Structure 1
């Protein structure tokens, strides 16, 4: 019999909506964490999967029991504020925090942080969420900032709610692998205003390869080994699998929102600087996307 836990999730957002729906289907208690104090006590939202729309009504915290686990599925630049919000709400400091965001960033927190990496694709329009692409996910079995393992019940429930999900003890290489994909697809779709699948065209071959080769060089300097040919195949596979998708960076640019370029290609540029590596292509796309803000 599945244990019933109380989950607090930022949202309703794109991936957070997919996660919340999966947890609710497993008879879990879910509450939304909003950025600000709200007069409402609940949110009506819809998730569309495979052409079928399902409506949900989910309470807003603190109109819900204290959480057993928190999921912060946010933009990279919003993570620090989301953690501060937990302090404001006096969430227990030993409550496990599952973080899901694009790119890399340094996070300083006394709370136990467990990265979640996913290749699922979703989009949001107001309180309507669409699950656009199915993939797989990886969750750290141990906190990245302290020696605390993830409680078995939390991992098991997430595996049932968001399959396929793998619990791993070495999440960092998987984070770099996701960064590789993001550093190619996100900036190019944003700069050229195209859906993911259009990056398979021959006109993008050279710039994709340059981004990949520079990435492999920087990753190696940081202690993470990637084969350039296999990296190219991995990027091509995601482009094909998500051909109809519009990247989150493209959507942000179209809505004139802040992008996550600093945590993606900007991160590679900074790591390259520290290791005295020249990455002209990553620098160029970082500057190009920054100019689009």
Structure 2
């Protein structure tokens, strides 16, 4: 039987980090088999400025979590990661902004055990190359994409705002089929539904295309997601997706315009009242992940000698918004 992945470190105390920390750290009962299975994971959270916390804060900090479609928040104990948690980790799940991923790995790289599964959960593409240089070639690194909604109302206070699906897949290293099934099963018990994909790169590109449209248009125009489906943005959406399709062909990723257009419309409609992450960052005066979204398309265009004027324009406009 495959060894259980009991020791889990979640890196990041934002909306997605706390969402996964909460669900992974709870006792989970599965009745999917003839006997109930009680899951007790050793789950800890590594915060970005944890070294600034006092010994008392490290022991007594709590977080507030409001479950999906419920009104009342509950307080839960927050267990911070110590070095021993990292050196014994079976899974390290990084729920951070894309531009923080490499620096977070760099801080703990020497303590990550060889058997540990490192999972990168962030918007956009472009962090893997930097992470791979910091870890051994044999380190198992996965990408995680999720459509769950989570809102950070205040520090250490989140609300689970929408149920979704999570896709995971290998970026480097090797996992046996039993290991893949074990990992997927454990994540599924915590926060369903989780699917393992042999070709996670295509899934990344699909999400990237959606983000390249919805995030910058909502941030620049200060609108909710649903307004992206307004006819006045049709030409712009067309240009963005056309550039992505051309680049995807150069990168041997099989995307079609009709599928992408339908997905953008569907996601904008399903999240019509939501404020995109990029718009939220702009409104809060935070840095955005645009360098790893439209900026990634810009850089890839230069690499392949393919013009990406609309993605480049949106990338530059968003960068100018935070000045």
Instruction: Calculate the TM-score normalised by the size of structure 2.
Output: 0.84
Residues 6 and 30 of structure 1 are in contact (CA less than 8 Å); yes or no, is this contact kept in structure 2?
yes
Aligned pairs (5 A) from 1:30-41: 30-36=43-49, 37=51, 38-39=53-54, 40-41=57-58
Aligned pairs (5 A) from 1:113-132: 113-124=141-152, 125-132=154-161
Higher alpha-carbon deviation: 277-286 or 61-70: 61-70
Deviations 1:13-72 (A, max 9, x none): 211222122212324222111123132324311122213423211211118743221110
Higher alpha-carbon deviation: 253-262 or 32-41: 32-41
Partner of 2:34: none
In structure 2, distance between residues paired with 1:56 and 1:220: 48
Change (3 A) 1:201 1:151: closer
In structure 2, distance between residues paired with 1:113 and 1:132: 28
In structure 1, distance between residues paired with 2:47 and 2:172: 25
Secondary structure of 1:144's match?
strand
Residues 121 and 132 of structure 1 are in contact (CA less than 8 Å); yes or no, is this contact kept in structure 2?
yes
1:146 shift after superposition: 2.3
Partner of 2:173: 146
Secondary structure of 2:255's match?
coil
Is residue 121 of structure 2 the alignment partner of residue 100 of structure 1? yes
Larger Rg: 2
**Aligned to 1:172, which of 197, 201, 221?**
201
Aligned-residue Cα RMSD (Å) equals 2.0
1:260 shift after superposition: 0.7
In structure 1, distance between residues paired with 2:195 and 2:175: 18
Secondary structure of 1:169's match?
coil
1:148 shift after superposition: 4.0
Change (3 A) 1:84 1:8: same
Partner of 1:18: 19
Partner of 2:99: 77
In structure 2, distance between residues paired with 1:16 and 1:130: 12
Partner of 1:6: 7
In structure 1, distance between residues paired with 2:75 and 2:4: 24
Secondary structure of 2:143's match?
strand
Is residue 42 of structure 2 the alignment partner of residue 29 of structure 1? yes
Partner of 2:35: none
Partner of 1:45: 63
- Any gaps of 5 or more consecutive residues in structure 1? none
Change (3 A) 1:29 1:222: same
Deviations 1:81-113 (A, max 9, x none): 11122236x232431111101111133232421
In structure 1, distance between residues paired with 2:5 and 2:299: 43
In structure 1, distance between residues paired with 2:183 and 2:219: 36
Partner of 1:58: 78
Partner of 2:36: none
1:12 shift after superposition: 2.1
**Aligned to 1:87, which of 106, 109, 133?**
109
In structure 2, distance between residues paired with 1:4 and 1:137: 18
In structure 2, distance between residues paired with 1:229 and 1:63: 49
Partner of 1:207: 236
Residues 180 and 196 of structure 2 are in contact (CA less than 8 Å); yes or no, is this contact kept in structure 1?
no
Partner of 1:231: 260
Question: What count of residue pairs does the alignment treat as equivalent?
Answer: 289
